[in-house]
């Protein structure tokens, strides 16, 4: 239920309560009102459209409301289409011709042994072992044919194949385990084929019904309902099945979290390094240090499959570093973290800075902390961040890592494997660590800036930057594409973008300046001036400003007007125009107006090679 609560966290309270009540009670009498309440929400609140086709060898019709509710919780506007009972191949073939139907986002095939291979339930009545083994191979071939048929007739539609759950209603389970043609081995053979098909075919995924049924146990089934209606799931089984299918499909519409921010004390080890000292920390193969060791194992696994780890710790950095170096059982190394913020600042501010350095949105982050206070402050300050644990208990933290779906994905790509290395490169670009000899460091980065005219090739990126840049943004004007286009069309305007590369690679457009003519006296006003946070502190603003001034001087500008408009986030540029040599002419609590007259050309920064391609207008 914790997963569902996180899925529906943005729903209004009445819907949340109704859904939670419905799923906990597993009662259709509560599921139906919950479904009706969901219809009151707007399309935006309800999530993306998700058209799912279900094909099954048993009767799923009674289960549809539970399945519908679970998929709606993702959230999604799920539309379920149930194919005819036990007619998988003919339906796939026929549907191919029906082009007028709505597009499919997923096809799910659920099958079970009772229909696929009923002989396995009565081996001695059906030619055990030889004949039965041959029948198993026929089923394996059938499964393969179904995938081929789908690929031919519905190419590009993700296909979800269920594995075969072990039956619970049959006799002699002891014997079923003794022979390669026995029931359990037969199920295993078919499932093995299903896993292979998913491995070898892009867009084919597994809904592991066998694993799910094992987790759920016998209580998910109901023999009475199976005999009555060929529907084998109990009421609780139906909602659990719905949630299981929903989670299996979720990566189709919800991207996984890319980073996990976590604290040190009482998470990576037991105890507080600043108080207990190294000798007092608990980490190792004995209880309770083994819980923390297992947490580290899980975190290392996440890192190795492409989730970035970010360290957020209120500690002296030297103490934390010493613990990493000195504790022999530490699995995680200092460099396993793509960003480290070990200081006494607010954790939400540290996380915001880390997100900026890594070029990730806040909604890419999950967070773990043993402190109730820190979790609550993170929840209040950055609601986009998903908080995984909700108590200080380390075992609970470990469980939250086991149970979370925040990092669910269908596959792990080469890009995922290399992600940590890529972000280590980003960290190597971090100028804040080299303030002692900044100019030397900046020269070592071998930066090459290209000044471009804003136009069709970069307009999209410029509009995105205008919409998202908060820190280095002098006026924070959120112009639309049409508004920027109007400025480009204005005679005498100077719309420039700066593209940066360094020895680590291409950074793309990282700076924008928009200057527009006003009045009749050859005056230009700076409408917008912004630099992406991933390029802060590297003198990008100097290069861009110099290029703009150069152009302004050449087109005869006599006076330049500029403004700093204060926001909650752009304090770092409060004195930029002073540094660039402009004079203050007017000041209030929320803004400072500047001017520059005469407009004199200035030199480009010495640590950066600048190519100016903007002089074509």
Partner 1 sequence: MNDSDPLLRLLIDFFNLPPDTQPQEINQKSVSSWDSLAMVQLIADLQGTFSVDFDLDEIGALRSYEEIHRTLSRKGVPSLR
Other beta carbons less than 10 A from residue 392's beta carbon: 14
Least Å from the CB of residue 23 to partner 1? 12
CB nearer partner 1, residue 220 or residue 247: 220
One of 3, 20, 48, 62 touching partner 1 (CB under 8 A): 62
From residue 347, give the alpha-carbon distance in Å to each of 10, 309, 312, 365.
Answer: 23, 15, 6, 13
Distance CA 388, CA 378 (A): 12
Q: Is 91 exposed, middle or buried (0-12, 13-18, 19+ CB in 10 A)?
A: middle
Coil, helix or strand for 493? coil
459 binds partner 1 (CB under 8 A): no
Distance CA 281, CA 279 (A): 6
One of 144, 196, 222, 319 touching partner 1 (CB under 8 A): 222
Least Å from the CB of residue 115 to partner 1? 18
**561: β partners:** 525, 595
**161: β partners:** 109, 206
448 binds partner 1 (CB under 8 A): no
H-run or E-run covering 206: strand 204-207
CB nearer partner 1, residue 232 or residue 517: 232
Distance CA 304, CA 40 (A): 43
Check if the beta carbon of residue 512 is closer than 8 Å to that of residue 577.
no
Least Å from the CB of residue 368 to partner 1? 35
From residue 373, give the alpha-carbon distance in Å to each of 282, 334, 352, 378, 462.
Answer: 23, 26, 18, 9, 39
Distance CA 353, CA 362 (A): 10
Check if the beta carbon of residue 83 is closer than 8 Å to that of residue 91.
yes
Least Å from the CB of residue 28 to partner 1? 5
Distance from the Cα of residue 526 to its chain's centroid: 36
Least Å from the CB of residue 74 to partner 1? 23
32 binds partner 1 (CB under 8 A): yes
Strands (E), 83-135: 106-110
Distance CA 397, CA 565 (A): 43
Least Å from the CB of residue 65 to partner 1? 8
Q: Which stretch binds partner 1 (CB under 8 A): 30-38, 283-291, 539-547, 582-590?
A: 30-38
522 binds partner 1 (CB under 8 A): no
Which tokens sit at 188?
């295993």
One of 134, 177, 228, 609 touching partner 1 (CB under 8 A): 228
Quick one: how many helices (H) and strands (E) in the chain?
A: 25, 18
85 binds partner 1 (CB under 8 A): no
Count residues contacting partner 1 (CB under 8 A)?
22
One of 12, 14, 33, 84 touching partner 1 (CB under 8 A): 33
User: Is the alpha carbon torsion for 549, 552, 558, 561 positive or negative?
Assistant: negative
One of 6, 20, 25, 409 touching partner 1 (CB under 8 A): 25
Q: Which stretch binds partner 1 (CB under 8 A): 135-143, 220-228, 465-473, 573-581?
A: 220-228
234 binds partner 1 (CB under 8 A): yes
Least Å from the CB of residue 564 to partner 1? 60
1 binds partner 1 (CB under 8 A): no
221 binds partner 1 (CB under 8 A): no
224 binds partner 1 (CB under 8 A): yes
Least Å from the CB of residue 233 to partner 1? 8
Least Å from the CB of residue 234 to partner 1? 6
Q: Which of residues 238-257 bind partner 1 (CB under 8 A)?
A: 238
525 binds partner 1 (CB under 8 A): no
Residue carrying the six token digits 């590297």: 538
Q: Which DSSP state fits 120?
A: G
One of 3, 26, 291, 300 touching partner 1 (CB under 8 A): 26
561 binds partner 1 (CB under 8 A): no
For the chain, the maximum distance between any two Cα atoms, rounded to a whole number of angstroms, is: 101
29 binds partner 1 (CB under 8 A): yes
CB nearer partner 1, residue 64 or residue 438: 64
84 binds partner 1 (CB under 8 A): no
290 binds partner 1 (CB under 8 A): no
Residue carrying the six token digits 């390029």: 535
One of 133, 235, 327, 610 touching partner 1 (CB under 8 A): 235
183-200 and 130-153 are packed helices; what angle lies between their axes, rounded to 10 degrees? Answer: 20
Least Å from the CB of residue 69 to partner 1? 13
168 binds partner 1 (CB under 8 A): no
The residues, ordered by sequence, that sit 6+ positions from 105 with a Cβ below 8 Å of its Cβ are 49, 50, 51, 52, 157, 158, 252, 253
Check if the beta carbon of residue 364 is closer than 8 Å to that of residue 259.
yes
Distance from the Cα of residue 247 to its chain's centroid: 15
Q: Which stretch binds partner 1 (CB under 8 A): 58-66, 126-134, 367-375, 601-609?
A: 58-66
One of 9, 134, 214, 229 touching partner 1 (CB under 8 A): 229
CB nearer partner 1, residue 225 or residue 531: 225
Distance CA 198, CA 210 (A): 15
597 binds partner 1 (CB under 8 A): no
**176: β partners:** none
One of 28, 211, 356, 459 touching partner 1 (CB under 8 A): 28
CB nearer partner 1, residue 229 or residue 326: 229
**313: β partners:** 342
One of 236, 305, 396, 399 touching partner 1 (CB under 8 A): 236
Distance CA 80, CA 418 (A): 38
CB nearer partner 1, residue 62 or residue 274: 62
39 binds partner 1 (CB under 8 A): no
56 binds partner 1 (CB under 8 A): no
Site for partner 1, rule CB under 8 A: 25-30, 32-33, 61-62, 65, 222, 224-225, 228-229, 231, 233-236, 238
């Amino acid at each position: 239920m914790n997963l569902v609560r996180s899925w529906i966290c943005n729903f209004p309270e009445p819907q949340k309560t109704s859904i939670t009540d419905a799923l906990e009670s597993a009662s259709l009498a509560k599921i139906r009102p919950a479904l009706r309440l969901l219809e009151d929400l707007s399309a935006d609140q309800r999530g993306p459209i998700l058209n799912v086709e279900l094909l099954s060898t048993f009767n799923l019709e009674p289960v549809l409301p539970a399945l519908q509710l679970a998929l709606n919780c993702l959230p999604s506007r799920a539309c379920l289409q149930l194919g005819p009972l036990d007619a998988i191949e003919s339906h796939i073939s026929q549907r191919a011709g029906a082009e007028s139907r709505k597009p499919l986002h997923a096809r799910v095939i659920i099958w079970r042994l009772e229909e696929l291979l009923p002989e396995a339930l009565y081996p001695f009545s059906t030619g055990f072992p030889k004949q039965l083994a041959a029948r198993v191979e026929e089923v394996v071939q059938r499964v393969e044919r179904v995938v081929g048929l789908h690929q031919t007739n519905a190419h590009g539609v993700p296909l979800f194949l269920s594995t075969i759950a072990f039956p619970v209603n049959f006799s002699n389970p002891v014997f079923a385990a003794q022979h390669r043609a026995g029931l359990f081995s037969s199920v295993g053979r078919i499932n093995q084929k299903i896993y292979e098909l998913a491995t070898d075919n892009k867009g084919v995924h597994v809904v592991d019904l066998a694993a799910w049924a094992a987790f759920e146990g016998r209580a998910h089934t109901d023999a009475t309902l199976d005999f009555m209606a060929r529907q084998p799931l109990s009421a609780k089984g139906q909602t659990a099945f719905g949630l299981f299918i929903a989670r299996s499909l979720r990566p189709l519409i919800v991207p996984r979290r890319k980073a996990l921010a976590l604290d040190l004390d009482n998470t990576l080890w037991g105890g507080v390094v600043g108080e207990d000292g190294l000798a007092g920390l608990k980490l190792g193969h004995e209880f309770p240090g083994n819980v923390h060791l297992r947490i580290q194992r899980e975190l290392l696994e996440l890192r190795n499959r492409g989730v970035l780890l970010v360290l957020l710790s209120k500690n002296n950095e030297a103490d934390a570093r010493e613990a990493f170096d000195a504790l022999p059982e530490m699995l995680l190394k200092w460099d396993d973290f793509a960003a480290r913020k070990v200081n006494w600042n607010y954790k939400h501010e540290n996380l915001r800075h880390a997100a900026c350095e890594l070029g990730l949105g806040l909604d890419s982050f999950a967070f773990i902390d043993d402190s109730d206070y820190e979790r609550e402050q993170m929840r209040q300050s950055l609601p986009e961040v998903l908080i995984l644990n909700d108590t200080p208990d380390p075992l609970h933290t470990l469980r939250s890592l086991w149970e979370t779906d925040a990092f669910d994905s269908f596959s792990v790509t080469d890009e995922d494997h290399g992600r940590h290395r890529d972000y280590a490169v980003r960290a190597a670009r971090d100028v804040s660590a080299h303030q002692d000899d900044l100019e030397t460091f900046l020269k070592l980065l071998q930066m090459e800036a290209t000044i471009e005219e804003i136009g069709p090739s970069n307009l999209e990126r410029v509009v995105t930057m205008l919409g998202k840049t908060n820190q280095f943004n002098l006026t924070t004007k959120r112009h639309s594409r049409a508004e920027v286009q109007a400025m480009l069309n204005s005679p005498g305007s100077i719309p420039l973008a700066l593209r940066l590369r360094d020895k680590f690679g291409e950074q793309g457009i990282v700076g924008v300046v928009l200057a527009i003519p006003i009045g009749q006296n050859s005056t230009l006003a700076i409408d917008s001036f912004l630099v992406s946070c991933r390029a802060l502190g590297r003198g990008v603003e100097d290069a861009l400003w110099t290029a703009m001034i150069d152009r302004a001087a050449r087109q005869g500008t006599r006076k330049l007007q500029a403004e700093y408009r204060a926001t909650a986030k752009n304090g770092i540029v409060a004195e930029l125009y002073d540094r660039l040599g402009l004079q203050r002419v007017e000041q209030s609590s929320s803004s400072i107006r500047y001017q520059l007259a005469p407009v004199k050309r200035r030199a480009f920064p010495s640590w950066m090679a600048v190519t100016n391609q903007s002089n074509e207008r």
